[in-house]
Structure 1
Amino acid sequence: MALAAVAVAACLLPGTKAHAQGPAWPAKPVTIVVPFAAGGTTDVLARALGEKLGVALGQPVIVENRGGAGATIGADYVAKAPADGHTLLMGAVHHTIATSVYKKLGYDFQKSFAPITTVALVPNVLAVSAATPARDVKELVALVKAAPDKFSYGSNGAGTAQHLIGTQFATAIGQPLLHVPYKGSGPLTTDLLGGQVSMSFDTVTPVLPHIKAGKLRALAVTTARRSSALPDVPTLQESGFAGFDIGTWFGVLAPVRTPPEVVERLNAEMVKVIQSADFRKRMLDIGAEPVGNTPAQMAQQIASDTARFARLVADHRISAE
């Protein structure tokens, strides 16, 4: 009895291991919510990260697709999930745009989430079907102006980077383009290959295999510098369209009240994965540039992009319900 009492007392003493550790985390599988359909860049990155993260955490990491409404449905779900570190969001630059595009959101992207780390940066690319005769942007613009009713562009949904780039491009050429929103890059790429949409401004990752196979043609990247995955493809700026510098970053966030020690652990483990040689090679092979920054750096990035895209959204009068 005396020994038992001593043991209990020891557990209650400040600074003891039992007191300091608290409940074990993770206590169950961790879910990364991808706010798009399967097959796109967000999905690919989440699965690549989750595979190695699960080993580091000692718990399975499950990827769950909750697509729709320009990535806002999945974000809303995570924002309202228990803040215990077991439900995370694979967020993207799209969420900083949607903040200004959607009139009513059930969350505030800067206030409802705790940033963990940016996983990768991926350029966007203007791609058309190989059946389209245009060999460069100038030829594509001529075709569009000759038969504007025949051309459309697909995106991952209203308020995404693809939507914003497409709107900016239409303004630049002085010709409206029909916008066709999808729930993710998977279905968008399928329809682009089939000719249901004329072009896309998607990230490099989902279209790269089809470009290499000759089924799609890359005309220009939308970032200020060329993509290492498509070094021979010019930028839109090089093609005569000044002011284009939009790529897509992807990063992981948790509900805002997630314990700081859990966020710190997640950041440490994710950065180790992102900086590992095999993960880095895997990213470069799909046209992604691995990052792995701090929560504070990611928060600063979100704030900067939110302000930047609010101006572009206002300039182009983009809105969605």
Structure 2
Amino acid sequence: MTNPTIRPRTALTALALGLAASLAAAQAYPTKPVTLVVPFPPGGSSDALARAITTPLSQSLGQPVIVESKPGAGATVGADYVAKAKPDGYTLLMGAVHHTIATSVYKKLPYDFEKSFAPITTVAMVPNVLVVNAKSPATDVKSLVALAKASPGKLSYGSNGNGTVQHLIGTQFSSIAGVELLHVPYKGSAPLTTDLLGGQVDMSFDTLTPLVQHIKGGKLRALAVTTAKRSSTLPEVPTLAEAGIKDFNQGTWFGILAPAGTPKDIVAKLNAEMVRIIQSPEFKKRMEEIGAEPVGDTSAQMAAQIRDDTTRYARLVKEAKVAID
């Protein structure tokens, strides 16, 4: 007769062996270099944050963590690359709020941002700021709105691409202020900033990080930040709400994700190492220099942020009638 206890014992043994193997893999991880994919060109906030965290992360993991830029299509090219990568912890994504917007903006995406990734942690929140060239006659938000109303559709604003948060901030600003602006999409902050400095585009609502040196250097003029409170890096610059554009509270978060299916022990290890770095005095000092606010949350908290933003931006995308085939 068959012993009825053999099958349960066999199952328990297999489970125990599987857990032991998973734990051993996590303890051994990493045994080779890790790649952090940045879905924008070098020179922007995502690139700066990626490089700020990969240097200390390389030291703590004992393996190089390499930043690789894969820009295009509003940050979706890089996201798609990571979504299709082997879920072993060796290919990660520097994700951003842009990806929650793309879910509603693009009619067809080759991945599902909520289902195709395992969130690790949010690295930082970066305020967006309305800036113009220092030679612009607009000295504050009121005078900028007056200029836009005097020449409908003539003043241009640049963004990091169609469907990015800068794009939506521009449409929301236009709607609330009652002005018509020309949207000029770029592949990232670096080319946008170059044209902003050269006068090829009139304004932008980009993140503070790539702009702060030019603002403090007098080449760009900051008119307002788009968040609910002022930036500690530019405390003299008012919020859009203070400047008369009500109901505005938009910032940009950046965080690191792995492909869905990455072992939970590896995700937990990466979270612990990254949060420790993010909460260090050295990292906080670096964030202050580039106008970013360090976060360092749990994987579950980041997942909740993604769910909430996906819902919130779906409504804004529908209101702005933004769609890309």
SS in 2 for 1:69: coil
Separation of aligned partners in 1, 2:226 and 2:195: 21
Task: Say yes or no: does 1:115 pair with 2:119.
Answer: yes
Counterpart of 1:199 (choices 197, 203, 207) is 203
Partner of 2:6: none
Matching of residues 36-115 of structure 1 within 5 Å = 36-115=40-119
Counterpart of 2:242 (choices 226, 231, 238) is 238
SS in 2 for 1:148: coil
Separation of aligned partners in 2, 1:151 and 1:113: 38
Q: Bigger shift: 95-104 or 171-180?
A: 171-180
**Deviation of the 1:27 alpha carbon:** 2.1
Counterpart of 2:177 (choices 173, 178, 182) is 173
Separation of aligned partners in 2, 1:171 and 1:211: 26
Partner of 1:25: 29
Please list every run of 5 or more consecutive structure 2 residues that lacks an aligned counterpart in the other structure. Answer: 1-15
TM-score w.r.t. the length of structure 1 is: 0.93
Partner of 1:227: 231
Separation of aligned partners in 2, 1:102 and 1:84: 28
Partner of 2:9: none
Counterpart of 2:256 (choices 243, 248, 252) is 252
- Over 3 Å off, 4+ runs: 13-20
Q: Bigger shift: 134-143 or 21-30?
A: 21-30
Aligned residue pairs total 309
> Structure 1 pair 278/175, CA: closer, same or farther in 2 (3 Å)?
same
**Deviation of the 1:15 alpha carbon:** 10
Matching of residues 285-304 of structure 1 within 5 Å = 285-304=289-308
**Deviation of the 1:147 alpha carbon:** 2.0
Aligned-pair Cα RMSD in Å: 1.6
Partner of 1:159: 163
Separation of aligned partners in 1, 2:130 and 2:324: 23
Separation of aligned partners in 2, 1:281 and 1:120: 13
Separation of aligned partners in 1, 2:21 and 2:51: 34
> Structure 1 pair 20/80, CA: closer, same or farther in 2 (3 Å)?
closer
SS in 1 for 2:31: coil
> Structure 1 pair 260/215, CA: closer, same or farther in 2 (3 Å)?
same
Identity in percent:
68
Per-residue CA deviation, residues 47-70 of structure 1 (Å, 9 max, x unaligned), is: 110111011111101101111111
Matching of residues 141-156 of structure 1 within 5 Å = 141-156=145-160
Partner of 1:264: 268
TM-score w.r.t. the length of structure 2 is: 0.92
SS in 1 for 2:258: strand
Q: Which amino acid aligns with 1:60?
A: P
Per-residue CA deviation, residues 269-291 of structure 1 (Å, 9 max, x unaligned), is: 00111011101100011111101
SS in 2 for 1:205: coil
**Deviation of the 1:173 alpha carbon:** 2.2
Separation of aligned partners in 2, 1:169 and 1:103: 24
**Deviation of the 1:25 alpha carbon:** 1.4
> Structure 1 pair 226/199, CA: closer, same or farther in 2 (3 Å)?
same
